[in-house]
Amino acid sequence: MKASRNALYGGLLLLPAAVLLWTFTYQPILGTIVDSLFSTARGKRPAVFVGLDQYQRMIDDPVFWKAMGNNLVYALTTIPLSMALALMMALLVNSHLRGQAAVRMAYFTPTILPMVAVANIWLFFYAPDYGLVDRFLQIFGWGGQNLLGMPDTALGALIVITIWKEAGFFMIFYLAALQQISPTLLEAAGLEGASYWQTLRRVILPLLMPTTLFISINAVIGAFRLVDHVVVMTKGAPDNATTLLLFYIYQTGFGYWDTGYAAALTVVLLLILALIALFQFGYVDKKVHYR
Amino acid sequence: MSADFRSTPVIALTTVGAWLLAVLWVLPLLYGFWTAFHPAEFAARFDLSAPWTLDNFRRVWDAAPFSRYFLNTFFLVSLILVCQFVICTMAAYAFVCFPFRGSEILFMLVLVQLMIMPEVLLVENYRTLSRIGLLDTTLGIALPYLASAFGIFLFRQTFKSIPKELEEAARLEGANALQILLRVFVPVAKPTYIAYGLVTVSYHWNNFLWPLVVTNSVETRPITVGLQVFATVEQGVDWSLVTAATLLSVTPLLVAFLLFQRQFVQSFMRAGIR
């Protein structure tokens, strides 16, 4: 009796969420996989089954590899740097500091701004000759450069913005974790004669490990999900130096309207995210968080 | 960390370091602020005697339908917030109070969306919207986000922490399932609602790529897309206008943040710890 009542009530309550999740998450995931096996319909030519042709094309596509490489560099630089900064910020803000609230706000403010706005402001800083960054570089005799226009520096310029924007966000999680560390533990370390650095390494950092894993997973997802600044600042230029995977999908799908190929590219992105999910469920959940 | 293990010079040094970093962090914003409030010839020249002006804002406001963009964003965010509250509350309530065979598996399936957010699937979702004729509508921008795995997860966690006795007591007084939800669960979960609300409002106020793809007219464009359309036209022409437009577009959220700073930070913490 109770079981059937539960199934009825539960089912009805879940219905709206289930319909929406099916329509905009599961069905598109399946649809992407199916579409990646078809050619793109053009004009009167309908899409035909092409097997793994789109994937073959992807393997031969230098832009795809460029995007993957860029995304890897982007993730491997933005994530550790913004997390290290976030940890430092959290430690600073958590210490007895004059004007603590103001400092915390300064670190956190970039986080709540839209990436589009951030990108537009920074576009101005990066402007050759009169942008703030370029004027700073002029002091060292490196001025007059269009940092966003040169293949060697364009991705780096985007990386700087991402770190600036993300560090304050990650700081919040470290701060929350730091405030949960029992003061007795730190006092005990102090009584044992441990220096600040020893306490940091032996007590604080291990206790922050769950938070570090939690943040890194969010950061990895973020590195593949957020491409607003690419759209605003470079559109992948120069010479695909700033093309990230999701931006390439966007470009292929809505610039060239090549939906078949865009689907194949999306499958790669889905695989990457699935790998992260497996890692999280298999490894991280055993040790950390959730629950 | 107590100050016990720090000597006075170390404390002074960290304070200076913390402040230097803070100044470095807000410098870009202050510089943008400077440019927006001064005539174009001072855009990149710092001069204390430069006259302050609101002219840039006036020109921006006249040059593009920003009031309409704000209205669109306001409707979009409200729609998403209300629907997410209702839909996620219902789902979380079902998972906690009406478990049935397979509901655990369903919950695991919901969590998939934590990893694969709607914007990753933008090509397919665009086709779905075009099939049901909702391209270039506010509802169309909102739909993929209405059932939020994050919301369901967060509310479920909160509901689970509510003592069974509270629920039983309400039932003994003759409350039905809906009354129990509205009188017991929702009030207790209020801090979670506030936390989730702030996170989701700032997420959707700032969201860009999906609205950019879906919208195509002044009547639906949210402020982020509107700003981009404006900036693309003006770029390289007049930086004071671009920075003024940028500041204008972030002002409501920034003011809200400055006013409710503590709640914002605590909400992000709460939503993050879960």
Report chain A residues whose CB lies below 8 A from the CB of B87: 16-17, 20
Q: What residues pair up with A45 in beta bridges, in sequence order? A: A42
What SS3 class is residue A49?
strand
The answer to whether the CB atoms of B206 and A113 lie below 8 A apart is yes
Mean pLDDT throughout A232-241?
A: 89
Q: Which range among A59-63, A113-117, A284-288, B178-182 shows the weakest confidence by mean pLDDT?
A: A284-288
Return the SS3 of A77. helix
pLDDT on residue A185: 85
pLDDT at position B6 is 55
Domains of chain A: 63-287 (1.10.3720.10)
Residues in B touching A133 (Cβ below 8 Å): none
CB-neighbour burial class of residue A180 (10 A; exposed 0-12, middle 13-18, buried 19+): exposed
Separation of alpha carbons A44 and B191, rounded Å: 56
For B37-174, where are the alpha helices, taking DSSP H only? 55-63, 66-97, 103-115, 122-131, 138-142, 149-160, 164-172
Is there a cis peptide before residue A238, judged by omega within 30 degrees of 0? yes
How much is the average pLDDT of A199-222?
88
Asked whether the beta carbons of A241 and A196 are under 8 A apart, the reply is no
Query: Tens digits of per-residue pLDDT, B91-133?
Result: 999 999 999 988 999 999 998 888 888 899 999 999 999 999 9
Kindly provide the ipTM of the predicted complex, given to two decimals. Answer: 0.89
The answer to whether the CB atoms of A231 and B212 lie below 8 A apart is yes
**Chain A residues lying within 8 Å of B254, measured CB to CB:** 109, 112-113
Residue among A270, A273, A263 at smallest CA distance from A221: A273
* pLDDT less than 70: residues of chain B: 1-7, 44-46, 234-237, 271-274
Question: What proportion of chain A, given as a percentage, has pLDDT over 70?
Answer: 97
- Mean pLDDT over residues A263-284, rounded? 88
DSSP B47: -
Residue B243: what pLDDT? 87
In angstroms, the CA A152 to CA B68 distance is: 40
Q: Do B25 and A105 touch (CB under 8 A)?
A: no
| Residue range A65-93: mean pLDDT, rounded | 95
* Contact status, residue B241 vs residue B234, Cβ threshold 8 Å: yes
pLDDT of res. B2: 43
B73, exposed or middle or buried, with CB in 10 Å at 0-12, 13-18, 19+? Answer: buried
pLDDT at A281: 74
Beta-carbon contacts of residue B21 (< 8 Å; ≥ 6 apart): A88, A89, A92, A103, A107
C-alpha B228/C-alpha A225 separation (Å) is 19
Kindly state the DSSP code that residue A148 receives in the 8-state scheme: G
CA distance linking residue A123 with residue A107, whole number of Å: 21
DSSP state of A45: B
Residue A147 pLDDT exceeds 50: yes
Highest mean pLDDT pick, A1-10, A19-28, A106-115, B235-244: A19-28
Structural domains of chain B ordered from first start: 3-57 (no CATH), 59-273 (1.10.3720.10)
pLDDT for A26: 95
Q: With left for phi above 0 and alpha for psi between -120 and 50, is residue B102 left, alpha or beta?
A: left
Mean pLDDT (whole number) for A188-196: 83
- Given a contact cutoff of 8 angstroms between Cβ atoms, the answer to whether B214 and A253 are in contact is no
Based on its alpha-carbon atoms, the radius of gyration of chain B, rounded to whole angstroms, reads 24
pLDDT higher at B269 or A116: A116
Q: What is the pLDDT of residue A141?
A: 77
Residues of A in contact with B122 (CB under 8 A): 249-250, 253
Residue A227 has pLDDT above 90, yes or no: yes
Q: What are phi and psi of A247, to 5 degrees?
A: -65, -40
Query: Looking at per-residue confidence, does A257 or A5 come out higher?
Result: A257
Cβ atoms of residues B192 and B151 within 8 Å: no
Q: Percent of chain A at pLDDT above 90?
A: 53
d(C-alpha A196, C-alpha B135), whole Å: 58
- The number of residues in chain B equals 274
Chain B residue at shortest CA distance from A257: B123
Query: What does the alpha-carbon distance between residue B246 and residue B221 come to, in Å, rounded to a whole number?
Result: 16
